[in-house]
Amino acid sequence: MTKPGRPKTNFYFGLDVGNGNIKISGDGLDERIPSYRTDDYQIDALGSVLFDGTSYTVGKSALLSQKFIRRTVDDRNAKVDSIETLYLGALAHHTDLPKELISRVVVSSHAYATHKDQIKQNLGLDRELTLAGKKLKLTTEVLMVVPEGFGAVYNISDNCATLDFGTGTTILTPYQKGKPGESITKHYGVQKLIKLISQEMKVVNGGYPGDEEMIRRSLERGEMKVDGVAIAPIYKDCLKLWWNEGLSELGKIAFELHKDGYRIICIGGGVALPGFANVLTSKKFEPITDRPEMANARGLYQLALITAKKRGYYVNE
């Protein structure tokens, strides 16, 4: 086992790059970061990255820049092709990184089976760069690439399945004794619900659709008002429509797995939608209610620690 650096140089993270948010959990960092990026470089801002003539900003700072932004949800290839960009932007939200950093990560990906090597290659680089105004030398080692949602069930030995309600997708992945089966992906996530609510708001908003970003923020706060407009009845109707039109088939498959003895573990930001956890519980599913959007990343961090110990790396818990 190697000796600890002075100061601390070895950091471990779980990385979950989602369509709507980047979730990163680990040493000194446990954050959900909006999956936006802009070429507008803001020195010293959280999420700002500079290296080799490349500069950009990721997260809330990108959104607030008032400049053109790229959303991960709009690019199906971004979670593989742009994973280093998003990872570095997430790392640039850490406020106490050393000048020399060895970052060892466990990554979850929808493309773990087909693009595992590419993800490792895209992330496993040495960089001299500036993160949020701080210059440092970074070495990244990808310890593992695992299925999306695996972090939430890595320590469950029973047959189970994750039902992951994300921004752009909803994914059902079964596991037998810890081994993943084939995932079923519906390109139908929380963003679809927000669009439904936006259109239905025309009847109470002078004929205008509701602002989708404001709707998203209101739902995240558990509020039933958007810019002063009450949406409780609209939300209730749209939630039912969202499930019945886009997710009921996936729900039926999950329920059949439940009848076969599988635990259905519900994760992702969608679980935190007002009242939705109760709906899932009524279907005999098991929603994670403590920051369900972070459940996967937090488990990936624990996997990083376990894997590091097995490989003889120093782990300062």
Sequential pLDDT tens for the chain (317 residues): 445 446 689 999 999 998 889 999 999 999 999 999 999 898 889 999 999 989 999 999 988 887 788 988 888 888 899 999 999 999 999 999 999 999 999 999 988 888 999 999 999 989 999 999 999 999 999 999 999 999 999 999 999 999 999 999 999 999 998 899 999 999 999 999 999 999 999 999 999 999 999 999 999 999 999 999 999 999 999 999 999 999 999 999 999 999 999 999 999 999 999 999 999 999 999 999 999 999 999 999 999 999 999 999 988 75
CA distance 62 to 214: 17
Quote the pLDDT of residue 1: 46
Backbone angles phi, psi at 52, to 5 degrees: 45, 40
Sheet holding 10-17, edge to edge: 29-34, 21-26, 10-17, 100-109, 134-147, 126-131, 48-51, 54-58, 36-38, 70-71
Axis-axis angle for helices 232-242, 190-200 (nearest 10): 130
CA distance 61 to 46: 7
29: which strand partners? 26
Specify the 3-state DSSP secondary structure of 35: coil
Vertex 36: Cα angle to 25 and 165 (nearest 5): 60
Q: Is 147 within 8 Å of 183 (Cβ atoms)?
A: yes
Quote the pLDDT of residue 226: 95
Structure tokens at 201: 């708001």
Give the contacts of 305 (CB within 8 A, at least 6 positions apart).
Answer: 12, 315, 317
Quote the pLDDT of residue 65: 80
10: which strand partners? 102
> In terms of Cα–Cα distance, which of 160, 184, 164 is closest to 174?
160
> In terms of Cα–Cα distance, which of 12, 6, 65 is closest to 37?
65
Q: Which domains are assigned to the chain?
A: 10-147 (3.30.420.40), 157-291 (3.30.420.40)
Annotate 234-262 with b (16+ C-beta within 10 A) or e (fewer). bbeebbeebbeebbeebbeebeebbeeeb
